[in-house]
């Protein structure tokens, strides 16, 4: 299972970085979504997959005994998902605004520097 | 007031005021005064925190009473406390400058709450005691900065924010990976706990790999070579007040985080990290200053200088000796003030000439004598001319490099200082000295006076620079004490973990 998830994480990262290099802003946003998911999956996988071992202290014991599923990485992932979601919503607003301004989602159409230097 | 309450106050003040500000009626004055009052209180809290830490050693607070390393920890050592104080002062400067320069329609909007969120995020990043919270505070700060950058939604701002946002989010992804990997390897993210655990893990190579993730993520936030592209692409588009705020605080969080993790946690392969940081620092200095030489837009030119000055900080961190860290801290403080002064002045000149293009300016020396003086002092200070603060800060960096017998860094620092002087003189010549361009109809402008409120913040910054230059000794002493704390993590660990070994 770890191997499968590791390959998935690698694939998601590759796809995400590929999208970042495209000229379409929507695809750049999608690339960032993929990178975010890849990271979450990475944190999930790297901290060990445990199935059926809830992190509950058994009756009559003082501490957890391994193996148990660590809840902390899942809390990290939850926080990261929320942050990522908020920022992506903001990015989409920007993309929408840019599309209104230029009529296309091509990053080259947004460029203002070239116009400046021709003056 | 107990010290632990002081530790949480900066964030409570800023975020609380931001929330309250959004609830007030949508007019300029309540939001403006709320922001001003908050920044004044933040500066006072910062000063109290600094005095407490200086007197009683490193302070820590366990939020909600959960003992470290399980709960959320806030820690203030001298460096954090000093930076919180500077953040408060810069917040105050920027808010009063915004009140003088921004149209009241903008002031009535979400501008001040966003500034408060940004400042709160920066304070949180300086004061947090664990890496995941560092990530969260950096995201809080970045989120606010994205909106501030795009607030006017002009086309060049949209272009800048999309570039800035996608690169920053990529940096955040790298940072989050680093945090996740480190947790997987060490089982904790509390900085003090990591300082104890990491050396005993027995997997130094894995730690070096993880530390490289942190290096990339924080170097991107700091704007270091070769990850600085987002900075000159975005910093010239928002109003001058926002650029000043960004240049004063955002990249410094990256530098602070680098200094924190590489003095406290990842000390296992000091040779490699130090070499990397030195190479990075040297190249950052050179590329930044060479980039600036080619620019004729005042703010773009100044943005490239942010990068070159970041290079000094990273090189000083790479040397990793006590005198180098002292130089780093003194330079950091000087540079926040110098750079802010220059950006504030660039805003004031643009107010007079209605442009940032150096070709179209001229003659300001005659029409705006006071403004010319307020540009001249920080420009010389940034280039490192005595008797201003930049001279001592730069001297400290160069001396530290010489003492570590790193001739290349020392030489680079001297040459880059000269090139900085050259490009400051370019602004001086183009904007202030030369005759006005002929095709430009020159409307007679009245000299800006203190009553406009624009010059007050510039003057305050310039005054700091003169004071820090003439009285550099106390600052250097404080920086030396802070560097001592960075190099001896025992006190930090004891303050957070208490009696635990």
A34: nearest CA in chain B?
B173
Residue B451 pLDDT class (50, 70, 90 cuts): low
Q: Name the residue among A43, A46, A87 with its Cβ closest to that of B169.
A: A87
Q: Is the CB of B165 less than 8 angstroms away from the CB of A97?
A: no
- Model pLDDT, residue B440: 59
Residue B179 pLDDT class (50, 70, 90 cuts): very high
- Model pLDDT, residue B450: 59
- CB–CB of B20/B72 below 8 Å? no
Question: Quick check: B136 contacting A, CB < 8 Å?
Answer: yes
When pLDDT is averaged across residues B18-28 and rounded to a whole number, the result is: 87
User: Considering the domain boundaries, does residue A98 fall inside one?
Assistant: yes
- Model pLDDT, residue B122: 95
Size of interface A-B (CB pairs under 8 A): 92
Question: Quick check: B181 contacting A, CB < 8 Å?
Answer: yes
Chain B residues touching residue A72 (CB < 8 angstroms):
183
| Residue B265: pLDDT over 80 | yes
Q: Is the CB of A79 less than 8 angstroms away from the CB of B136?
A: yes
Whole-model pTM?
A: 0.92
When pLDDT is averaged across residues B359-372 and rounded to a whole number, the result is: 80
- Model pLDDT, residue B448: 67
Residue B216 pLDDT class (50, 70, 90 cuts): very high
Residue B446 pLDDT class (50, 70, 90 cuts): low
B174: nearest CA in chain A?
A39
When pLDDT is averaged across residues B249-271 and rounded to a whole number, the result is: 89
Q: Is the CB of B158 less than 8 angstroms away from the CB of A110?
A: yes
* ipTM tops the 0.95 cut: no
Q: B456-495, pLDDT tens digit by residue?
A: 888 888 888 888 888 888 888 999 999 998 888 888 888 8
Question: Highest mean pLDDT range out of A65-79, B101-115, B169-183, B194-208?
Answer: B169-183
- Model pLDDT, residue B439: 64
Mean of the per-residue pLDDT values for chain A?
A: 84
User: Considering the domain boundaries, does residue A11 fall inside one?
Assistant: yes
| Residue A32: pLDDT over 60 | yes
What does residue B277 show for φ and ψ, rounded to 5 degrees?
-65, -40
Q: Of the given ranges (B54-68, B114-128, B286-300), which has the lowest mean pLDDT? A: B54-68
CATH of the domain at A113: 1.10.287
HEC string for B118-181 = HHHHHHHHHHECEHHHHHHHHHHHHHHHHHHHHCCCCHHHHHHHHHHHHHHHHHHHHHHHHHHH
Q: How far is A59 from chain B (nearest CA, A)?
A: 22
Q: Is the CB of B139 less than 8 angstroms away from the CB of A32?
A: no
Chain B residues touching residue A97 (CB < 8 angstroms):
150, 153, 158
Task: Provide, rounded to the nearest whole percent, the portion of chain A with pLDDT above 70.
Answer: 93
When pLDDT is averaged across residues B348-364 and rounded to a whole number, the result is: 80
Q: A48-58, pLDDT tens digit by residue?
A: 777 777 777 87
| Residue B246: pLDDT over 80 | yes
- Model pLDDT, residue B142: 92
Strands B59-63, B72-76: pairing is: antiparallel
- Model pLDDT, residue B501: 41
A 53-82 residues with CB < 8 A to B: 72-73, 76, 79-80
Residue B87 pLDDT class (50, 70, 90 cuts): very high
Using alpha carbons, select from B377, B410, B394 the residue that is nearest to residue B335. Answer: B394
Task: Provide, rounded to the nearest whole percent, the portion of chain B with pLDDT above 70.
Answer: 96
What does residue B128 show for φ and ψ, rounded to 5 degrees?
-75, 150
For chain A, what is the domain count? 1
Q: B369-397, pLDDT tens digit by residue?
A: 888 888 888 898 888 888 888 888 888 88
Bond into B242 cis (ω within 30): no
B147: nearest CA in chain A?
A90
HEC string for B448-501 = CCHHHCCHHHHHHHHHHHHHHHHCHHHHHHHHHHHHHHHHCHHHHHHHHHCCCC
Best of B159, B170, B233 to mutate (most A CBs within 10 Å, chain A): B159
Domain residues for the domain of A30 are 2-51+68-118
| Residue B198: pLDDT over 90 | no
User: Considering the domain boundaries, does residue A59 fall inside one?
Assistant: no
| Residue B432: pLDDT over 80 | yes
When pLDDT is averaged across residues B128-155 and rounded to a whole number, the result is: 90
Task: Provide, rounded to the nearest whole percent, the portion of chain A with pLDDT above 90.
Answer: 32
Q: How far is A112 from chain B (nearest CA, A)?
A: 6
- Model pLDDT, residue B1: 58
Q: How far is B32 from chain A (nearest CA, A)?
A: 25
Q: How far is B255 from chain A (nearest CA, A)?
A: 23
Residue B443 pLDDT class (50, 70, 90 cuts): low
């Amino acid at each position: 299972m770890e191997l499968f998830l590791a390959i998935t994480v690698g694939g998601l990262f590759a796809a995400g970085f590929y999208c970042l290099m495209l000229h379409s802003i929507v695809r750049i946003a999608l690339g960032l979504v993929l990178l975010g998911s890849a990271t979450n999956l990475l944190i999930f996988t790297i901290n060990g997959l445990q199935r059926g071992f809830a992190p509950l202290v058994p009756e009559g014991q003082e501490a957890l005994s391994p193996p148990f599923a660590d809840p902390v990485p899942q809390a990290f992932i939850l926080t990261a998902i929320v942050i990522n979601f908020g920022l992506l919503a903001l990015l989409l607003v920007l993309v929408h605004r840019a599309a209104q301004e230029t009529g296309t989602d091509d990053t080259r159409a947004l460029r203002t520097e070239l116009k400046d230097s021709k003056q | 007031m107990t010290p632990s309450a002081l530790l949480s106050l900066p964030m409570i003040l800023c975020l609380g005021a931001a929330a309250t500000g959004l609830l007030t009626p949508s007019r300029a004055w309540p939001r403006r005064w709320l922001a001003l009052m908050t920044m004044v209180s933040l500066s006072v809290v910062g000063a109290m925190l600094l005095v407490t830490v200086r007197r009683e050693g490193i302070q820590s607070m366990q939020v909600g009473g959960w003992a470290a390393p399980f709960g959320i920890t806030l820690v203030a050592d001298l460096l954090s406390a000093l930076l919180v104080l500077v953040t408060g002062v810069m917040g105050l400067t920027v808010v009063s400058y915004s009140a003088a320069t921004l149209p009241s329609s903008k002031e009535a909007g979400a501008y001040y709450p966003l500034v408060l969120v940004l400042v709160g995020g920066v304070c949180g990043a300086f004061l947090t005691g664990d890496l995941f919270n560092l990530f969260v505070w950096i995201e809080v700060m970045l989120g606010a900065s994205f909106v501030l950058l795009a607030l006017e939604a002009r086309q060049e701002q949209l272009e800048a924010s999309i570039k800035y946002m996608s690169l920053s989010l990529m940096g955040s992804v790298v940072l989050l990976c680093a945090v996740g990997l480190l947790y997987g390897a060490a089982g904790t993210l509390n900085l003090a706990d990591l300082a104890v655990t990491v050396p005993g893990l027995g997997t130094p190579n894995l730690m070096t790999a993880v530390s490289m993730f942190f290096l990339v993520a924080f170097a991107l936030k700091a704007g270091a070579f070769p990850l600085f592209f987002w900075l000159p692409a975005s910093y010239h588009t928002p109003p001058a007040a926002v650029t000043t705020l960004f240049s004063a605080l955002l990249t410094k969080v990256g530098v602070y985080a680098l200094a924190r993790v590489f003095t406290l946690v990842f000390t296992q392969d000091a040779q490699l990290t130090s070499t990397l940081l030195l190479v990075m620092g040297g190249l950052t200095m050179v590329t930044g200053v060479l980039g600036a030489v080619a620019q004729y837009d005042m703010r773009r030119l100044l943005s490239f200088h942010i990068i070159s000055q970041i290079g000094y900080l990273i090189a000083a961190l790479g040397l990793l000796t006590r005198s180098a860290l002292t130089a780093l801290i003194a330079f950091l403080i000087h540079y926040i003030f110098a750079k802010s002064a220059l950006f504030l002045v660039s805003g004031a000149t643009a107010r007079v000439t209605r442009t940032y293009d150096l070709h179209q300016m001229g003659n300001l020396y005659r029409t705006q004598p006071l403004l010319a003086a307020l540009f001249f002092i920080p420009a010389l200070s940034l280039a490192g001319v005595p008797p201003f603060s930049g001279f001592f800060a730069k001297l400290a960096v160069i001396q530290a490099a010489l003492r570590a017998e790193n001739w290349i860094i020392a030489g680079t620092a001297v040459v880059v200082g000269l090139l900085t002087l050259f490009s400051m003189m370019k602004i001086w010549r183009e904007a202030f000295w030369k005759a006005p361009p002929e095709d430009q109809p020159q409307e007679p402008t009245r000299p800006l006076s203190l009553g406009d409120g624009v010059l007050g913040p510039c003057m305050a910054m310039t005054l700091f620079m003169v004071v820090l230059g003439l009285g550099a000794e106390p600052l250097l002493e404080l920086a030396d004490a802070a560097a001592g704390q960075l190099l001896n993590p025992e006190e930090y660990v004891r303050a957070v973990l208490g009696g635990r070994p």
